Amino acid sequence: MISAGDFRNGVTLEIEGNVYQILEFQHVKPGKGAAFVRTKLKNIINGGVVEKTFRPTEKFPQARIDRVEMQYLYNDGDLYYFMNTENFDQIALNKDDIGDSLKFVKENEMVKVCSYNGNVFAVEAPLFVELEITDTEPGFKGDTATGATKPATVETGALVYVPLFVNQGDKIKIDTRTGEYLSRV
């Protein structure tokens, strides 16, 4: 059990039958009345964000989130297959469970599969990936005064905006959290 007075960013809790992760918290001590804790919570199952206030003495059970490193094998229509590299167990996840978290992940790469009480709710891609550009328009010389970008398709099929000097066949480094181009490799 963790009390509201001990909240920290990133802690996962069970509140009213739902599992929430604390995004932000603030201890508020008004001049008149009792102190309280104002929080911004993210429901980790459906991704919704809510704001709630608590008394500092309220207690909640801490939720245990299991993150297992697995290898992304392939997708077959709406199912995505993953394998635990330690015991070689394979699981298949629905496209709804995955969302767009695999748009920068190639087959046979390692990802983290997050579950709560055995129910998988998210797949975390590596923070940075290196992918090859399969399609982009050529850049034009002298068109760089504004730091312009152009759309490019990478080998996983995702669209990334890259600087004009990047060409088809180049390998680039991408931040998977934002989908931004970082550098050429």
- CB proximity list for 121: less than 8 A, separation 6 or greater: 44, 45, 97, 114, 115
Provide φ and ψ at 60, rounded to 5°: -135, 145
The chain-wide mean pLDDT, for the chain, equals 86
- Structural domain harbouring 93: 66-124
My answer on whether 6 and 32 are in the same domain is yes
**Contact by Cβ (8 Å): 62, 4:** no
Domain termination residue (choose one: 97, 124, 151):
124
Q: d(Cα 101, Cα 108) in Å, to the nearest integer?
A: 15
Burial status of residue 133 (CB atoms within 10 A of its CB: 0-12, 13-18, 19 or more): buried
> What is the total count of domains within the chain?
3
**Contact by Cβ (8 Å): 164, 136:** no
My answer on whether 52 and 73 are in the same domain is no
Q: What is the pLDDT of residues 29-48, one digit of tens each?
A: 988 888 999 999 988 877 78
My answer on whether 52 and 70 are in the same domain is no
Q: What is the pLDDT of residues 51-82, one digit of tens each?
A: 999 988 889 998 888 888 999 998 888 888 99
Q: d(Cα 73, Cα 172) in Å, to the nearest integer?
A: 22
Q: What CATH number is given to the structural domain containing 154? A: 2.40.50.140
Q: d(Cα 53, Cα 38) in Å, to the nearest integer?
A: 4
My answer on whether 135 and 176 are in the same domain is yes
- State percent of the chain over pLDDT 90: 12
Give me the residue label for tokens 């207690």. 59
**Contact by Cβ (8 Å): 124, 108:** no
My answer on whether 49 and 80 are in the same domain is no
Q: d(Cα 92, Cα 165) in Å, to the nearest integer?
A: 40
Q: d(Cα 155, Cα 64) in Å, to the nearest integer?
A: 36
Number of other residues whose CB lies within 10 A of the CB of residue 150? 17
My answer on whether 48 and 83 are in the same domain is no
My answer on whether 45 and 10 are in the same domain is yes
Q: What is the pTM of this model?
A: 0.71
My answer on whether 6 and 52 are in the same domain is yes
Q: What is the pLDDT of residues 106-121, one digit of tens each?
A: 888 899 888 888 778 7
Q: d(Cα 23, Cα 12) in Å, to the nearest integer?
A: 10
Domain termination residue (choose one: 16, 34, 60):
60
Q: What CATH number is given to the structural domain containing 22? A: 2.30.30.30
